[in-house]
Amino acid sequence: MKFLGKFFLTLLLLILLALVILYVLLQTQWGAGWFSRWVSDKTAWHLSLSKIEHNFSSPSHIILDDFSFGHDGQPAVLVAKRVDLGLALVQFSDPLHFASIEVRDGEINLANQTPQTTLPVQANRLQLNNVRIESPHSALPLSAQRVNGGIVPWKPIASDMLGSDAQFQMSAAALTLNGVAGSNVLLQGSVAKHRLMLTNIGADLARGSLTGRAERDAQGNWLIGQLRLNDIRLQTQQTLSHFLSPLRDVPSVRINRLDMTDARLQGPDWAVTDLDLTLKNITLRGDDWQSDDGSLAMNAGNFIDGSLELNDPIVNAAFSAQGIELTQFSSRWVNGVIRASGRWTRSDRRLTLDELALAGLEYTLPQNWRDRWQAALPEWLDSVLVKRATANRNLIIDINPAFPFQMTSLDGSADNLLLARQHQWGIWSGKVSVNAAEATFNRTDLRHPSLTLSASDDQIQVSEMSAFNGNGLLEGTATVGQTPQRPLTLNLKGQAVPANVLENWGWPALLLNGNSNLQLQLKASLSATTPLRNSAEGNLTVTTETQSVQQTLRAGQVVQ
């Protein structure tokens, strides 16, 4: 018995001696290298250390210096100057579950993490101190510098580094999210069953500030409880459509309240200045939206989108399940003013304007305005009805060299004017009356031109058309059919007008001079696919004081 006691005592002393030697060796550079190689050889991960430290003043903590960890054959996911591992009794059953993990002065690059692979460690608390985080391939690509914060508990899963059930609080000196840079960022929130809740968001953004709260469910739908942006001065290289694409890329975004105050945003071909905006209770879903009691109140100094520039625009609208009620829209545009009110209804996708007023505009039509007029409207807009429209002292110019024109001091009114139906622009019903002080059509000057028309499903009837030219008067009537061929019938009469008044408008030149009386009867097609000249057929009679000429036009050519 005495021998057995001495044997076991000796064996225990040898084991203790071996443990002491191992404890000492592991804290040497050789021991750290041996442990790194052993982990790298025995697992699917690579580990690199320069030193392992332990101090009996903190017996439950192990310090790893110059730490590098990642997948075999891949760049490191985590690189840190120091990692502090807090030990716990649970490690007897789960060796890689720590009481705490503190990462100091390092970088976490999630781009180097192999998809569908989970980090093999967990902790009751993960602490970050002065850490850089790179996550370029996540749903919202981000890059953050000088991150400090903690996650409790930290149990990462393959699809989410935060885990499925945790609380967190983090700050970052600088953060770039989806290309937008911010500083002094604060995030507080939690994750529960793949639901992300951000209870407090704060940041200095683009020389302004951002505060709010939001959450995202397991399906990727976002709820913006409150978001406030103050004094934003943001410049981006993205187009307006690309800038807004994050709102369309997620399944849905529910906005309870969004406020912007004195914001200035600018892209390569768009800009908005001095923007004040309040948006409430609306859900954005792709290119569509839903709302039961939403509202929009917006005003700005300038809004520019390509060639469109609005000055001092004001918009007030209410959203409902039935559509949008536009209670106010006004803006200065091309040196004039435009005002409108009305509604867009979802059931028939019709825009109805109760009032449309245009005053003092100096508008030059775009070169492709005819193509735009013939192009189909977007899916969300089937028809446009203007119940009442007025125009006062407008200047309209077309610089198309094929047939330029200009109308000065253009006034007019319209009632129940259906400007579009079945996604196609036109004049489909209603009454219009317009007049101008002066006009020029392809280098032919007119004074006090006026026109009155009414439209129906079958045709557009021009009941009155007149203008002074030279010392005389041109008067006429016309009809235009509503079929795709757009058949035109024109009757034009001139009294004491220049004999060649029609030459600049396409009629062959006459060998006459001086004032004349004329009578024109013309039929043609205004179809978009048929040149007007090729379809024109008509008879012209021109009488001067000394002679009279009659001509017949066939396919744009005089036949007699």
**In terms of DSSP bridges, do strands 537-543 and 424-435 run parallel, antiparallel, or are they unpaired?**
unpaired
Q: What is the pLDDT of residue 52?
A: 77
Tally of CA atoms within 13 A in the half-sphere of 473 that contains its CB = 7
- Give the start-to-end residue ranges of the domains of the chain: 57-205, 468-560
Q: What are phi and psi of 418, to 5 degrees?
A: -90, 100
Q: How far is CA 125 from the centre of its chain?
A: 40
Q: What are phi and psi of 243, to 5 degrees?
A: -65, -35
Beta-carbon contacts of 30 under 8 Å, excluding residues fewer than 6 positions away, are none
The H or E element that residue 534 is part of is helix 532-535
Q: What is the pLDDT of residue 304?
A: 95
CB-based contact 147:131 (threshold 8 Å): yes
Please count the residues of the chain: 560
Beta strands in 286-382 (DSSP E): 288-290, 294-299, 302-305, 308-319, 323-333, 336-345, 350-359, 362-364
Q: What is the pLDDT of residue 560?
A: 61
Q: Which two tokens stand for residue 498?
A: 């220049």
Nearest by Cα to 495 from 517, 470, 520, 469: 517
Residue-wise pLDDT for 259-294, tens only, equals 999 999 999 999 999 999 999 999 999 889 999 999
Residue-wise pLDDT for 67-101, tens only, equals 888 888 888 888 999 989 888 877 777 888 888 99
Q: Rounded to two decimals, what is the model's pTM?
A: 0.84
Q: What is the pLDDT of residue 17?
A: 47
Beta-carbon contacts of 114 under 8 Å, excluding residues fewer than 6 positions away, are 71, 74
Kindly list the distances between the CA atom of residue 179 and the CA atoms of 98, 187, 236, 304, 529, in Å, as whole numbers in the listed order.
35, 18, 8, 22, 46
Positions in the chain whose pLDDT score sits under 70: 1-32, 56-57, 138-140, 159, 178, 556, 560
DSSP per residue, 118-137: --S-EES-EEEEEEEEEETT
Q: How far is CA 516 from the centre of its chain?
A: 59
Q: What are phi and psi of 225, to 5 degrees?
A: -65, -45
Q: How far is CA 199 from the centre of its chain?
A: 26
Q: Is the peptide bond before 153 cis (omega within 30 degrees of 0)?
A: yes
Q: Which two tokens stand for residue 217?
A: 């469910």
Nearest by Cα to 450 from 498, 419, 411: 411
CB-based contact 196:216 (threshold 8 Å): yes
Q: Which two tokens stand for residue 392?
A: 């006062």
Q: Give CA–CA dist 498/500, Å, rounded.
A: 6
Query: Which of 244-258 are b and which e, b meaning 16 or more Cβ less than 10 Å from the residue's Cβ?
Result: eebeeebebbbbbeb
